[in-house]
């Protein structure tokens, strides 16, 4: 080929094939094709045509050019790409088209209240509460979408101590409003791990927030964090109503709620489902204990590798408060040599 000097029949056959599928190696892929033929370097090309997208992988075999063979595998990723685009469009819709009008309405209500200079009427207060609830639901959906797409390549060193402290700071006003106290017991310092700080903090906020929602006023929520070998274990223990035995098997499933409290406690059943997904994506486990001497319900995503959350969890006995335990892998290199982090 005049455009690819030094190559012979194998390259000409490959060039003909590429042109047959509307990929022009003379323009975009000359060096890659040469390396495939001459140096056995794998080549991957994409072909996009209207609604079809193909991923084509090439590998060369044979010791000499005379017996060189090129094998091609073609994968149709069109449906995967459409699914990814639909998910991105949904996230954009949730984050902008739904959140923006709600936030604008909330600001208008607050401005009206300021102009009137008096306490909001019962109906206005109810509207504000509904808007805030809708915003929290949207934020939960966005967080789950982020967690579903989380990869370890995006992880950075995270100080787990700070995750707990930030969650407690965010929820302290809510706890004080219902006369609930926090007892934070950090038994080990400098607990470093690799992860997504935003999602980890959201997961911790959901756990502690659940404890507040289901606990009576005047009680204490204990948060214990300690190192166990190369793992960090965080336990959130409340003195609330506990978890009904028939709910334990659905505790970490999406959109599952206890019907006995659904009418009195706001939510759509995404809080602990998000926690379980975030913990799973960080290589950890989460367990729930409810009742004296009861067996734990556990959500270890290692037992549900397809991400279906379809877990067969043991039930528990008598309700008397709840303990949620999260176990996550530490970054051993960082925790053993803190000077490297500093």
3-class SS letters over 24-38: CCCCCCHHHHHHHHH
Q: Which DSSP category does 120 fall into? A: P
Please write the tens of the pLDDT for every residue from 59-107.
Answer: 888 887 777 787 878 888 877 777 777 666 666 666 666 666 677 777 7
Average pLDDT, the chain: 75
pLDDT of residue 302: 25
Tokens of 325: 């335990």
pLDDT of residue 8: 46
pLDDT of residue 297: 43
pLDDT of residue 222: 94
> Phi and psi at residue 89, in whole multiples of 5°?
-65, -40
Considering only CA atoms, give the Rg of the chain.
27
Are the CB atoms for 182 and 215 separated by under 8 Å?
Answer: no
pLDDT of residue 300: 34
Are the CB atoms for 290 and 272 separated by under 8 Å?
Answer: no
The CATH number of 152-341 is which of 3.30.565.10, 3.40.50.300, 3.30.1540.20, 3.60.20.10?
Answer: 3.30.565.10
Alpha carbon 181 to chain centroid, angstroms = 29
CA dist 221 and 94 (Å) reads 33
pLDDT of residue 18: 66
Please write the tens of the pLDDT for every residue from 244-261.
Answer: 777 777 788 777 666 666
- Exposure string for 162-185, b = 16+ CB within 10 A, e = fewer: ebbbebbeebeeebeeeebebeee
pLDDT of residue 45: 78
User: Is pTM, for the whole model, over 0.75?
Assistant: no
CA dist 6 and 307 (Å) reads 51
For the chain, the structural domain boundaries read 9-76, 85-147, 152-341
CA dist 90 and 98 (Å) reads 10
Q: What share of the chain is helix, strand, coil (3-state, %, to 5)?
A: 45, 20, 35
Q: Which DSSP category does 98 fall into? A: I
CA dist 7 and 291 (Å) reads 75
> Phi and psi at residue 311, in whole multiples of 5°?
-110, 140
CA dist 171 and 47 (Å) reads 50
- Exposure string for 3-14, b = 16+ CB within 10 A, e = fewer: ebeebeebbeeb
Distances (CA, A) of 163 to 48, 152, 153, 176, 329: 43, 18, 20, 20, 15
pLDDT of residue 2: 38
- Best CA proximity match to 152, nearest among 332, 323, 46, 284: 284
Tokens of 265: 């406690």
Q: Which DSSP category does 294 fall into? A: P
> Phi and psi at residue 313, in whole multiples of 5°?
-100, 140
Mean pLDDT per segment of 10 residues, for the chain of length 342 residues? 44 63 60 77 79 83 78 80 69 65 72 59 70 77 82 90 95 94 91 94 93 90 94 93 77 71 63 90 90 44 34 39 91 57 39
């Amino acid at each position: 080929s005049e455009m690819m000097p030094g190559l012979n029949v194998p390259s000409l056959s490959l060039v003909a094939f590429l042109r047959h599928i509307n990929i022009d190696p003379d323009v975009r892929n000359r060096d890659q094709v040469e390396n495939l033929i001459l140096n056995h370097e794998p080549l991957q090309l994409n072909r996009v045509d209207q609604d079809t997208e193909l991923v084509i992988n090439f590998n060369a075999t044979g010791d000499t050019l005379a017996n060189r063979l090129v094998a091609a595998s073609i994968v149709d990723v069109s449906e995967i790409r459409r699914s990814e685009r639909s998910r991105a469009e949904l996230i954009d819709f949730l984050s902008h088209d739904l959140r923006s009008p709600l936030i604008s309405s909330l600001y208008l209500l607050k401005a009206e209240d300021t102009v009137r200079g008096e306490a909001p009427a019962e109906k206005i207060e109810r509207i504000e509460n509904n808007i805030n609830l809708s915003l929290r639901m949207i934020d939960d959906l966005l967080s789950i979408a982020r967690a579903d797409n989380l990869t370890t390549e995006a992880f950075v060193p995270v100080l787990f101590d700070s995750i707990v402290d930030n969650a407690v700071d965010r929820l302290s006003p809510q706890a004080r409003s219902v006369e609930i106290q926090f007892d934070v017991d950090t038994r080990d310092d400098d607990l470093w791990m690799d992860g997504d700080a935003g999602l980890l903090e959201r997961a911790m906020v959901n756990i502690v927030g659940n404890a507040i929602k289901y606990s009576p006023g005047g009680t204490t929520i204990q948060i214990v964090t300690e190192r166990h070998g190369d793992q960090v274990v965080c336990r959130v223990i409340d003195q609330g109503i506990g978890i009904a035995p028939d709910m334990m098997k659905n505790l970490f499933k999406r959109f599952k709620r206890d019907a006995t409290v659904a009418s009195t406690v706001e939510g759509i059943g995404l809080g602990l489902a998000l926690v379980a997904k975030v913990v799973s994506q960080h290589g950890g486990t989460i367990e729930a204990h409810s009742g004296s001497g009861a067996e734990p319900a556990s959500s270890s995503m290692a037992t549900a590798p397809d991400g279906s959350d379809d877990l067969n969890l043991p039930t528990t006995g008598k309700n008397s408060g709840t303990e949620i335990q999260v176990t996550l892998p530490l970054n051993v290199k960082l925790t053993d040599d803190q000077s490297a982090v500093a």
